[in-house]
Amino acid sequence: MGFVIFQGVRGLSHYYPDYLAVILIGVLAGTAARIILLRIDYRQYPGYPHGYLTHTALGLIASALGAVAVPALLKPDFVAVTFLTLAAQQFREIRNMERQTLESLEKTELVKRGLDYIEGIARTFEARNYLVMGTSLITALAAQFGGVPAAVFAAFLMLYASYYFMSGEIIGDICDVVPARLSFDGSILKIDEIGLINIGLKSMRDKILQDGLAVMIKPKNSNARATIHDIGQRTAIAFTAAVFLGTKKDVDLPEFTPLARKNPDTGEVGLYIVPVHKDIEKLIAAVKLTPVLESARSKPLNAGPSIKSVEDKVM
């Protein structure tokens, strides 16, 4: 192994084009990773075509940084590696950019995305660039020491890892989603036994019963219960449902706002929406596809042992 590394280093130190090949292979793998990840991003965050270009370009820069690190280390030019810290600064900027864009759009959004969702998206966009940098770094290392076949293998491994590990949990993983019935108890709109909102106008009640849809989101365990207890998570679910099915809500029709309310006793969450396309299967799919927000994810079940140790100390 040592011999191979030595050979590689000595061979390349006389030969600039080889560095170029290493860098190019790294950049290629990194950019491919960014494009694949963009496809996941945009399923969760639809509809901004210019964003594609911006993020692909930034992904290219990120992967160039990752790939250049290898020749810089081998030359050896350790000072050059410090520019990676600059990169971190740049990527935090991406997070701010995403957050600002979405926050300013939020003001005129009829169905709110919610601050938690925005923060989650912004954080994802930042993290994806580190992932891209890692992909190009590993691929460039493989190209340097193992040649093209190793680089191809490393690239596919990293692409698969990025795709598999970073696509994140969705609501469908932690909850069952079943159709539910809308009804009125006097003027209170209910989903099964959950009271949602007081609707004053009789004409509006008839319209809601005729056009509205409802599902019940049943958590599979206490971790899931804690996650959908989070208001930001519920806002994200309502937003996703409204994106997939459309909503009849307008500025002067606040009654049609999609709502997700909790049954305080069981922790189940009922979602109500007046969609443009009345399709319960599609609604269930939309709810299941909603990403679990990092800020909402919580695992009280796993806290058992640590709580017990604290209890032992205190009691």
Report how far apart, in Å, the C-alpha atoms of 50 and of each of 47, 58, 59, 259, 267 are: 9, 13, 14, 31, 40
Side-by-side strand order, sheet with 182-185: 182-185, 188-191, 194-198
Query: Which CB, 116 or 255, lies closer to other proteins?
Result: 255
**Residue 200 beta carbon to other proteins: minimum distance, rounded to whole angstroms:** 3
- What phi, psi does 219 have (nearest 5°)? -65, 140
DSSP 205-259: HHHHHHH-EEEEEEESSHHHHHHHHSHHHHHHHHHHHHHHH-----TT-GGG--E
**Residue 118 beta carbon to other proteins: minimum distance, rounded to whole angstroms:** 17
Query: Which CB, 211 or 279, lies closer to other proteins?
Result: 211
Query: Which CB, 250 or 311, lies closer to other proteins?
Result: 250
DSSP 28-82: HHHHHHHHHHHHHHHHHS---HHHHHHHHHHHHHHHHHHHHHHHHHHTT-HHHHT
DSSP conformation class of 198: E
Query: Which CB, 112 or 262, lies closer to other proteins?
Result: 112
Query: Which CB, 91 or 256, lies closer to other proteins?
Result: 256
**Residue 190 beta carbon to other proteins: minimum distance, rounded to whole angstroms:** 14
**Residue 47 beta carbon to other proteins: minimum distance, rounded to whole angstroms:** 22
Query: Which CB, 81 or 204, lies closer to other proteins?
Result: 204
Binding site for other proteins (CB under 8 A): 107-108, 186-187, 197-204, 251-252, 254-255, 257
Please state the three-class secondary structure of 268-296 as a single string.
Answer: CEEEEECCCCCCHHHHHHHHHHCECCCCC
- Token representation of residue 231: 């208001």
Query: Which CB, 85 or 203, lies closer to other proteins?
Result: 203
**Residue 305 beta carbon to other proteins: minimum distance, rounded to whole angstroms:** 43
Cα gap 293→121, rounded to integer Å? 9
